[in-house]
Amino acid sequence: MKFSLAIGALFASSVAAFAPSAAVPKSTALAGFTSSVFEPVEVQLADTTETIVKGGRDLFPLLPTAFEGIKNIGVIGWGSQAPAQAQNLRDSLNEAGADIKVSIGLREGSSSFTEAKACGFSEDEGTLGEMFSVIGESDLVILLISDAAQAKLYKEVFAAMKPGATLGLSHGFLLGYLDSINESFPEDMDVIAVCPKGMGPSVRRLYEQGKEVNGAGINASFGVHQDVSGKATDLALGWGVALGSPFMFETTLRSEYCSDIYGERGILLGAVHGIVESLFRRYQRQGMTPEQAFTESCESITGKITKIISTQGIKAVYDGLSDEDKEVFKQAYSASYMPAKEILQEIYDEVASCNEIRTVIMHGERTDKFPVGKIDGTYTWQVGEKVRAARDEENIPMNAFTAGVYVATMMAQCDVLLEAGHPYSEVINESVIEAVDSLCPYMHYRGVAFMVDNCSFTAKTGSRKWAPRFDYILEQLAYTAVDNGKAVSEELIADFENHPIHGAVVECCKLRPSVDISCEAETSTKEIVIE
Cite the active site residues: 171
Residue 21 marked as a ligand binder: no
112 is in an annotated binding site: no
Residue 249 in 3-state DSSP? Answer: strand
Is 522 annotated as ligand-binding? no
Residue by residue, DSSP assigns 60-127 as GGGHHHHTTT--EEEEE--SSHHHHHHHHHHHHHHHTT---EEEEEE-TT-THHHHHHHTT--TTTTS
Dmax over CA atoms of the chain, in Å, equals 71
Strands (E), 156-219: 166-169, 190-196
For residue 368, say whether it is annotated as part of any ligand binding site: no
Query: 36 by DSSP, 3-state: which?
Result: coil
Query: What is the DSSP secondary structure assignment for residue 518, as one 8-state letter?
Result: -
Which residue, among 250, 205, 261, has the nearest Cα to 437 in the 3D structure?
205
Please provide the DSSP assignment of 299-327 as one string.
Answer: IHIIIIIHHHHHHH-SHHHHHTS-HHHHH
Q: What are phi and psi of 73, to 5 degrees?
A: -115, 125
Annotated binding residue at 322? yes
* Intra-chain end-to-end CA distance of the chain, in Å: 26
Instruction: Measure CA 257 to chain center.
Output: 10
The Cα 159–Cα 163 span in angstroms is: 10
Q: Is 260 annotated as a binding residue?
A: yes
Annotated binding site for Mg(2+): 260, 264, 430, 434
Binding residues: 260, 264, 322, 430, 434, 456
Q: List residues forming the annotated binding site for substrate.
A: 322, 456
